[in-house]
Amino acid sequence: IAATNKPLCPPQDLLLNPDFEQGTTPVGWAQHANSECLSTVIQEPTAAHTGEQFARVSKTATCYSLFQDIYREPKAGDTATFGLWVRGQDAKPTRVSLQLFGLDAPLTTNRADYFLTDDGWTCVQVQLHIEESIYRYWRSEIYFHDDGTDYDLDSAQFRLDEKSVCPQGSYAITGLDLVPGQSAVVGATLSGRLTVVNTGEHPAPATQTRYWLADSKQGPPLHSESMGSLELSTLAAEESQLYYFDLRLPLDIESDKAYYLLSELSTGSIDTTTDLPSIRLQIEPCFGETIFCDIPDGYWAQPEAEAAYAAGVTGGCRSDAQAYHNLPFCPNQILWPEQMAVFFLRYINGGNYRPVGRFQSHYIDVTEGQNFAHWIDAFYPVIGDFARANCLQIDETRRFCPDQPVLRRDLLLAIGRILDIDLQQIDSPLTQTTHYVDLQDDPAVETLASYFWAKRILPDMDPNCPDQGFGPRFCGNDVARRVDAIVWMARAFSSEFSN
């Protein structure tokens, strides 16, 4: 008995041995009957996240997961949060998943996947909301994916509320603009760039940001078609990240009028009373006598773009909105990997090609319900295991990274792969002299780019990578544009442009 309003007992954690401070093995944590993980507890205070010990699990082909059941009956309206700190011991990209269950049968579950890109401690978490009072207990489980990797675990938590168990960073939008070179014509799709920084002292957990078109500087969304969201990845303290996105302009938008692109870091209702990041867009009409209203007579890529239309490779950037009529091509919209897949498959198989057959799940980050999923799946047998510079491949997994735009270097290498060009067998007279001044550190791209330039597949004066007075550049790490893909592919695959 005490005359105080402070609790006399410490908080009761719902997990057994959450910080792995007990014993020489992870006491309280279990494995399934078919799982044989080699798990130990290491006493090394300077290496532990907290306390003096942490658990280490060595992933093998027969090691799948560790779990712990919490025998507290889930009730309708409950939300549970499970999280812990994890570290990939081999300092290479690796994958881990957290899953929460409401059991017994029938079960309900939620899963969160994380990629660990360094050898530091990372906080990961997952939440599950219960809709009905029909379950008997909770299960919190962590899955290990990459054989040969040692996973370190520490400081686990299980909470019956929606509060994050991971430290909260502080996101801020520090940059919002359009990718240079685009025209904001009626009906176009514009590519934008968003820079986000974590200004806090702790890692910021994954979250979302939204963007939309408005008719005033701080206005609400103008049209459901002209808004979207981005999934923001975990950011370390003071780390920044650049994201790309597409904004579709309505076909009935007024030309010769100013509109605004806005963004905010929120998932609730849009708050237009605060000063949100915004940029002004001057909308231009899109009309003309050419096939694509934003590719006029004399445009440097007009022959290739119109040939691609005639071949059925593309109907423009808004051909999904209605039957083609005076729609734009959006030449300087960034090239997304699914667009690259569609262009390649149509050039190879003809303009009437459509993917058929059962979905094969070639990529772990592409599910059957996603846009262009069957196109992406059909592209794998054509391109094979093709690594892109901005798409990390994890051991024994295959990723497509549909949210990462294609870089110019990777578009070039993909064309070389499709054409089955052996860099060691390229005719030497075409590559005796290096043409581009910015590829000295990338010999494979340097060789292929010089060869393609000599073959006139790459343009002499590329508007998307101009000479800055030191000689021709290739700009391999810049994002590729739709016009790059159409011009390079037309010249590489079409007899009309072959040299």
Give dist(CA 330, CA 316) in Å, integer. Answer: 7
393's CB contacts (< 8 A; 6+ apart) are 93, 387, 399
Please tell me whether residues 360 and 434 are part of one structural domain. Answer: yes
For helices 408-418 and 373-383, the axis angle rounded to 10 degrees is 60
Kindly state whether residue 341 falls inside one of the protein's structural domains: yes
Please tell me whether residues 80 and 229 are part of one structural domain. Answer: no
Tokens of 264: 């905010």
Highest-confidence range of 36-45, 168-177, 310-319, by mean pLDDT? 36-45
CATH code of the domain in which 131 resides: 2.60.120.260
Give dist(CA 267, CA 277) in Å, integer. Answer: 16
pLDDT of 153 reads 96
pLDDT of 5 reads 63
pLDDT of 327 reads 80
pLDDT of 113 reads 82
- Which of 269-278, 329-338, 349-358, 425-434 shows the lowest per-residue confidence on average (mean pLDDT)? 425-434
Question: In 117-218, at which residue ranges do the beta strands (DSSP E only) sit?
Answer: 122-129, 137-144, 150-159, 171-178, 189-198, 207-214
Supply φ then ψ for residue 423, to 5 degrees.
Answer: -60, -25
pLDDT of 427 reads 58
- Show which of 159, 182, 217 is a domain's final residue: 159
Task: Check the CA dihedral 393-397-403-407 and report its sign.
Answer: positive
Which strand (E) or helix (H) includes residue 414?
helix 408-418
- Which of 145-159, 254-268, 347-361 shows the lowest per-residue confidence on average (mean pLDDT)? 254-268
Supply φ then ψ for residue 127, to 5 degrees.
Answer: -125, 150
pLDDT of 283 reads 93
pLDDT of 163 reads 84
Give the chain's domain count: 3
pLDDT of 106 reads 81
Kindly state whether residue 408 falls inside one of the protein's structural domains: yes
Please tell me whether residues 151 and 175 are part of one structural domain. Answer: no
Which residue is associated with the tokens 């075409």? Answer: 430
Give dist(CA 380, CA 401) in Å, integer. Answer: 13
pLDDT of 18 reads 94
Supply φ then ψ for residue 308, to 5 degrees.
Answer: -65, -35
Q: Based on C-alpha coordinates, what's the Rg of the chain?
A: 27
Which strand (E) or helix (H) includes residue 55?
strand 53-58
What's the average model confidence in pLDDT over 347-356? 93
Q: Yes or no: say if 319 and 327 are a contact pair by the CB < 8 Å rule.
A: yes
Kindly state whether residue 19 falls inside one of the protein's structural domains: no
Please tell me whether residues 276 and 322 are part of one structural domain. Answer: no
This prediction has a pTM of 0.72
Domain carrying residue 63: 38-159
Residue pLDDT, tens place only, 51-78: 999 999 999 999 999 999 999 999 999 9
- Which of 331-340, 355-364, 406-415 shows the lowest per-residue confidence on average (mean pLDDT)? 355-364
Residue pLDDT, tens place only, 249-280: 988 889 888 999 999 886 555 555 567 899 99
What's the average model confidence in pLDDT over 11-38? 89
In three-state secondary structure terms, 493 is helix
Please tell me whether residues 241 and 359 are part of one structural domain. Answer: no
Please tell me whether residues 362 and 429 are part of one structural domain. Answer: yes
CATH code of the domain in which 223 resides: 2.60.40.10
| pLDDT higher than threshold 80 for residue 1 | no
Q: Yes or no: say if 224 and 188 are a contact pair by the CB < 8 Å rule.
A: no
Q: Yes or no: say if 271 and 264 are a contact pair by the CB < 8 Å rule.
A: yes
Kindly state whether residue 166 falls inside one of the protein's structural domains: no
Kindly state whether residue 374 falls inside one of the protein's structural domains: yes
Please tell me whether residues 71 and 180 are part of one structural domain. Answer: no
Which strand (E) or helix (H) includes residue 82?
strand 79-88
Give dist(CA 184, CA 62) in Å, integer. Answer: 55
Go through the chain and tell me how many residues it has: 499
Please tell me whether residues 311 and 437 are part of one structural domain. Answer: yes
Please tell me whether residues 152 and 176 are part of one structural domain. Answer: no
